[in-house]
Structure 1
């Protein structure tokens, strides 16, 4: 019964957050849309559906009164859809029954303390599993899907998910790597320190937007990884960068070593023998490329491999052996956003915090500049004879004001004459009568006309 009563709230979850009054608002939108299309009968039906769900809504009752006049309806003519009536009746019955249960039933203590403790642990584990599945379901609605788990990839804590980024986001993040030096081994690397330096040296709104996207993307991956791993300890960002690999013009520089997702190239014997218990790594690819990504086992054999494409994210414990296969074609790149997380807050990277602080300072400077610019503009208006006769504090709202002198008498007469000669009839409702009053008709002159 409790599950059924919460059904509407569950269905209303959009982008991980529930929308209040989800069902009744659907009929609110329908009522307005039908009215705009002059389908007054369907508008009346939507109004009836809404009022069945919320009979005390004042605005909708006013809409009903308006439709009564236009359609010459009585109250009996406002008939809601059969399904809505059944829904409302069933919901009332369920609420009444739940109320009866809560008032009249008591649950006897049938278990010993030991049984209760065992039961609590069992329930806690069950709830934890259900919560993870619930979050994964929400992410799937956003287009993020797990395509391989640790059991498929032959090691604990490995996973592969698709859909972490959209195509346009990948393209925007790739612009961060432009103009950066390509190492002899064929890797090209952007990090937050480089981003801060560029923004400070030459402020650019477009670059600033890309840097903000990078910050949002890293935090989005962190939240997803935290939910998927379901660890008790919080993940903190240690370092984040974008790395692109391409064929080097001097193959000797990478002979005998394995390209890594972090832009280095290491020999197998130099790879870490132990997985870190405190650090975790994710790699989110930013383009579709011919170079695969591979996990290796202790015998230098391939555990598993998969292709790379925009939005695909791979997660593994830091220290896990892997290879970033470089595309064979000269000039082709495979690019990814790599993030290292740590469970030790003291070990979290300063670059991430410094970048956020820098972006906050940029916001403050922009706000201060806009405020100063606003003061200068108001001074210019005052010099031209414009006066604020009432401000927000007098009009009970900070956005409200009354000003005199914005137009001269001659300008007002000219504008009125233009509308009289060239204006077209309408009222802001696509030329139809206003729903507020049948007498509210205007003549208007669009700027393009």
Structure 2
């Protein structure tokens, strides 16, 4: 007896996936719930388990194929020695349709009006493009005038520029790899963001001395009590939540001709994974403690790297933080995550000479970048937001005092 293996439900608004990898081949023994293959969707990777124990049968959807929800993937023959299920019989090819006869051309023995021929020659009009209104389809002078005044047909949309030719010896050393669905989605969303939003970036810098000292003083005690490491992300999340209350338009989005203000903060934390950038969302971050934020970031970050995040966990964010500093970035301009109107870019902490009370001192400094949608966020609001984040980080006690 053979059991069908079908594409599971992929998540809200996701209707298709790409078969990425088959872990089993026909004839291999499989156990119940053992992973048979991996599917790639726009955002997440979905593993498909075996519904029964037995022997892997025929594979219907090959690696690279695009499949819809509930599409047939393969067969599993139940029992240890079951034979592979036979491939479904191919449907008989339908008989080729009888080709319809080509329409007969217009009569070639009908002469156009001499004045029409002269005008077509003067204006460079193709006689075949002019419909005749005279007897038996004869083209008259009026027909040519109408054709000359008619608007030109729109040119076909320009396709993507073809790839420049590559010398043969270089081509032999290249490797061509098809983009994953996740990478295709990243490319499309980022380009859509640039094309849609009036994106602008403002910069500032923050002295990390106080945050680093506070973290050093309490990190061991914090981890012992809460079971989570005290990192910088919880400080930045708290500082952004504090600033978003004062500048709510940075936590808003455009819906048609309306501005939708969010009275909550669902914080997106951009995370790099082996397959590309994903943004898991920490919901209601404005009501969470430092420990809750650190636990959520650690848990979602691990699951993001393992490809275990669900679609729901990456939807509904109202603001995003991206930390390029972990890769050594000193300064960058982050791209908005639509439909959000703001994203904060963190960067590398680097010792620099700063003038403090008239004296030059070495301080751990970080550049901050806020990219925002200028359609609803004015320059004053963006700068105010960034200054509030800077103030909260340079004096973390302000977060406790709600200042």
TM-score, length basis structure 1 = 0.21
Considering fraction of residues, name the structure with more strand: 2
Report 1 or 2 for greater relative contact order, CA contacts < 8 Å, sequence distance ≥ 6.
Answer: 2
